[in-house]
Structures are given as structure tokens and as C-alpha cells.
Amino acid sequence: MSEQQKQPNIINYFQQYKQGIQNAFKILEEVDFELPEEDVKQKVQKQIEEQKQPIEPKFISQADIKRALENFDKLICQLQLVTPLYSDPKYLNFESNDRTKRQTQMKHQQMWDQIKLQQKERFARFQDQEILERILELDSQLKEDYEYNFQFSSGTQKKTIQIKYHDVLKLNPPNYLNDGIINFYLKFIEFELLDESLRSKTYIFNTYFVEKLCPFDKLQTIQQNDNHRINELFKQSYEHIKRWVKEDLTEKEYLLFPINLPEHWSLLIAHKQSKSFQDSVIIYLDSFGIIDQKLVTIIKMYLHKMQCDKIQSDVNYNDSPIKQIPAYQLLVPRQVNYVDCGAFLLEYAESFLSNPNYLLSDFESQEGIYKLKLFPRTLVNKKRLLIKQLLIELVELGKEKALINYKQRRSEIIESCYTNEDEYDKIDQDLFKEFLNQKNSINVNSEQQRSMLLDFYMNPQQNYYEQ
């Protein structure tokens, strides 16, 4: 076996990706890659001083290129030690102390934007052009001073989520959905779409909670089984968020944690089956088939801490039954491009709360993890359109009418799919058959096919959007 084959897939992927970055430098013809002359440096510095604001010089030096590529070498070295489960470079930082988690050490932001744009275009082959045009047409109904304030009550507190013009534009592909849209829509589900009985049993965290509880830049430096460091990280992080929630979460049955990884969204759900969190189950929904057990561990520690505070106990987490509660990653509809993870997170949450029993039933059986019919593919394809229509009508028509229209549109989409079962998972099933044909395994038995389907979903080397 060659040295390259012995390395984890993620290492090989990064080495290939580094070569791609090197090639990306060559495509920006307007950028001068040579070191600038001294008078050019002085001219740029003079412009900065005159305008009294930071200006990025419009050149990339050879030193910048070297430093940027060295960041990949550092990542590869870290991966050889840490070997995280993430299958794509956009889930990892270039520098652990980078506060934005989405920037590199490259001075010229245009280069990184160019790379991301190429990725989005490359993986947009399943975009529905008609839906895209309808989304963009709605811009004509928007004004630049657009503003909507969604108000709700959390415990005894009145809270407001404000959506502005730039937030609504994030619904236009190929943009990623931002925290504003995600937080608004999750709370809209909780307070406008759930009946009182279900709402009283449900709590949806905002997108900043897990980010504070499980800082990704620190989490990625910890090995999978290093429980001591994971525990120390939890203790530090818990101090920052312990007063965030004013409600008694031990009285809730469903806790939904939106997870904001660097440039990726996913959803973790904790279901409390009795009065104690020790009788809980965790399900992890990710449209790329990703899961980080360290993150799951920290969520369990949080449940344990809440339980201890409730009963005024100081039981060690390692001795707690909560440590043993099961966590499942179910096979749910997944995205077919690099930009719709936020839309999938929102549809996971809405479809789950529309019928919790579908996801929570039978997942311990051999076939129980297959939940591909959680929602029809068309529903998530039109998610951006539905939310954008909703936000426009909330201002123009008022909440009552906008809510009626939204429910009607969503219902019509779902009903139209009842006559076509393949609508729920057609893309994945067709591509899985293609995958079996390529492997000359079309006639394998059901147990072998189940194993291959798991590989097809979970192995980054077999995910078709990596090809």
C-alpha cells in the first residue's frame, strides 16, 4: 500500500485542495503576483493615510502566497494528529484563532471569494431554474429600507428578532442563509406554527448558543476520545451561556440545537422521554451526512448539568446515566449543492415538529434509520421562496394573512407530492442505483445493499457531489 493510500481520506483531500488553491492564484489575471516596487508600496500607504481607513492593497505578494499555502500544511499536520470526522475543507478553519472562522490569512479577499464562487457554480447542477427566477423576481417588491420585527416571549422576557433588507437578500441563491434568517424562522416555527400543547414542550435555541457552548476552533484541536479536554472545554464554555436561557428546560420534551459550523448548518435534537434527561435520545440531522461525536458529548454534558442544577446534585458526568444515552444519525434528505444547508436545517426542524413520531420511531431497528421521506424534495427546493414570500407579506399584509398564505402554499406543495412517492428521495435513489452500477453491484442482496447505502451517504469519497 502506498504512503498516500495509508493516509486518511481527509488528508488526501486537503493535499489535493491545496493544489487547487495554488491553481486558483493563476486565474486572477488582474492581480499582480510579483512583489511590488517600493514606490508602489509607498503610494498604497499614502492612500491609506489620506483616507484614514484600512485599505487592502490590490496586490498579492509572493510572501502572502507562501503564507496562505503554509496554512494548508499546518492543517494537514493537525489533521494527522486530530483526524476529525469532517469531510470537506470548509468545515475547518485556516487559523484556530481566526474569530470570524470564515477567513484565511490571505490579504486579498477577492481571491477567496473567487474560489467560493467557483465551488457554488460547480455544485449548482441541481438548481431549479424556474424556482430561482421566482425568488429573484421578488426583489422588485423589496425596498432597501425593508424592516420586520418578529416579537415573541421567552419565559418572562419579551424578545425581538429584526430582519432587514440585507437579510432577505440572503435568501437569493447561491447565498448562504445567515443567522438572522435562521433565528427568525426557527422562532417563527416555535411561536406561530406549533399548537400550544407542542409549544409548551419545545424549546429551540438560537444559533449562537452551540457556537458558544462548543467553540469549533477549540473543539477541532481535541482528539475524539480525549474526555478530559472535552470536559475542561465544557466547563469553560458553560460559564458563558449558563444564564442565557430563562426557562426551565428540564420541563421540555424536545430541545432543538441549530449548529453553525464554519459555512455549514446542521441540527441536533434531544428528546426527553420521561422526567429525567437520563431517559433521552439524541438525533443528529445533517444534510452532508456529517457528525462530530465530541459535539454530541458536550450537548450530553449540558443536559447533565441542567439535571444536576435542577435536583441540586453534584454527580460527576462520567458516573451519570446521561453519558450513556444513545445518539443516532438518521438517513434524511440531503443537499445536492454547497449552499442549501441552511434551508435543510429549517426544513428538518419544521418537518420534525410537524410529526415528531416519524423520526423518533423505530430508529433502533435495522431499517429504522432510513428517514428519506421526512419531506419531499420539492419542499426544501422551494424553502427560500416560501420564506421570502412570507417576509414580504408580513410587512405588506400583516402577520395573520401572511401566516394563512404560508400554510396554504406549504400544504399545496406537500399534497402535490403524495401522488409521486419518488419525489421524496428521487435524486438520492437514482444516484445510488448509478453508484451500484459503477460498482457492478446491482444484484447484491439486501444486507449488502444496506451497507453500501450507508457508505454512499456517509463516506466523503462516495458522495456524488465530491466527484
Cα-based distances in Å from 274 to 250, 313, 349, 365: 10, 19, 22, 21
The predicted structure's pLDDT at residue 463: 40
The candidate with the shortest Cα–Cα distance to 184, out of 370, 364, 402, is 402
CA distance 75 to 61: 22
Grid cell 425581538 is found at 160
| Residues belonging to the chain | 467
CA distance 357 to 168: 33
Q: What is the mean pLDDT of each run of 10 residues along the chain (467 residues)?
A: 47 58 49 46 54 44 56 50 33 36 43 55 60 91 95 86 96 91 97 95 96 87 86 91 90 95 89 92 87 88 92 87 90 81 96 94 75 86 96 97 97 81 61 72 71 63 36
Backbone angles phi, psi at 29, to 5 degrees: -65, -25
The predicted structure's pLDDT at residue 34: 43
Q: Are 337 and 119 spatial neighbours (Cβ–Cβ below 8 Å)? A: no
The predicted structure's pLDDT at residue 223: 84
